[in-house]
Amino acid sequence: MQPSLSFFSGFTPNDLWFLAEAALRTLWISALSISIGTVLGAIFGWILYEGKLTATLTLAPVLDVFRSVPLIIQLVLFYNFAPIVGLDLDPFASGVVILTIYTAALVANVARGGIEAVGLPMRRAARSLGMTYWQDLRHVVLPIGGRAVFPAWVGVALGVMKDSALVSVLGYVELLKASQILITRTQEPFLILTLAGAFYFALSYPVSRFAASLERKWAQ
């Protein structure tokens, strides 16, 4: 009688925990990069809006480079170039730097679009009521423009979370790298990739649902 083969042969509960830890590392590097990148992107967007010709000739081309060059190339080039200029960065730090700049480059156009979404008559009205320039930005532009571009920002955030998988090429053991390690050891690609996809869904779905609930709240 031939011994029966189990579909789950070679995969253990410890492997599931290994994937869960990798998912937390994916969440950490994504949250850090998205948070810092959003702040920088908002600043860059404001500069692009207010800087006009100067920003178009200086900042805009740099942001275009980070938006246009594939992220995996940016990661590899930066990780290998950093030691040449004296920066001793591990894969995590290198990934955060590039993902942050990449996020900022994407958010910059979103932020500029949010500012442009607020009509000049409304801004002039705010100034005529005695608001300063910064009060106008805080109490008029941010609430109105922010709501207008919030769905676009959510799309950027979810995209960066998935793109964080590319940091695996540097050796950082996030969810995709952990999946590759387990596939090599267990030879169970379907099972491992299904679990990895489930973890990615578990990370992304709450964000999309929370964003949808905020949009419904604002629409009321």
Where residue 9 falls among pLDDT bands split at 50, 70, 90?
low
> pLDDT tens digits for 17-39?
888 989 999 999 999 999 999 99
CA distances from 39 to 72, 103, 139, 153 (A): 23, 10, 18, 12
**Which has the closest alpha carbon to 189: 199, 179, 198?**
179
pTM above 0.95, yes or no: no
The alpha carbon torsion through 106, 109, 114, 115 (nearest 10 deg) reads 140
> What ranges do the domains of the chain cover?
21-219
- 21-219 CATH fold: MetI-like fold (1.10.3720)
What does the angle CA 164 – CA 167 – CA 171 come to, to the nearest 5 degrees?
145
